[in-house]
Amino acid sequence: MKRYHFSLGDSNDGPVGFCAAVFADTKKQAVEKLRAILPDEQAVEPLDSDEDGEVEYINTYFNPDAVTEADVDKEYEVCPTCHEDRLRTFDTDPPGYECGNCKHTWVGG
């Protein structure tokens, strides 16, 4: 299993940033999982600093169908037992791993 990190907006370049991390066996499966759970819209609560209540509402909108494998910017091998990505690699073919969290060992695929 792997953890796929999606970058779907950049608040350094524009007004909105968005990222997600999904556990899956393949990029294709990660895209399918993210598309399945993304809402079409999500309300965001204004910060407590809006004491006067002058910000009426904040909504964010998503287009799940537009998410693709190209939106994956990082891919991590994770422990199949605890989903931790602090792994030690040992030489085998394919490589083997030991989890730094639960000490589970396995051979990668």
Residue-by-residue pLDDT tens, the chain, 109 positions: 899 999 998 889 989 899 999 999 999 999 999 999 999 999 988 777 777 878 888 999 999 999 999 999 999 988 888 988 877 887 777 778 888 889 988 887 6
Is pTM beyond 0.75? Reply is yes
Which DSSP state fits 103?
-
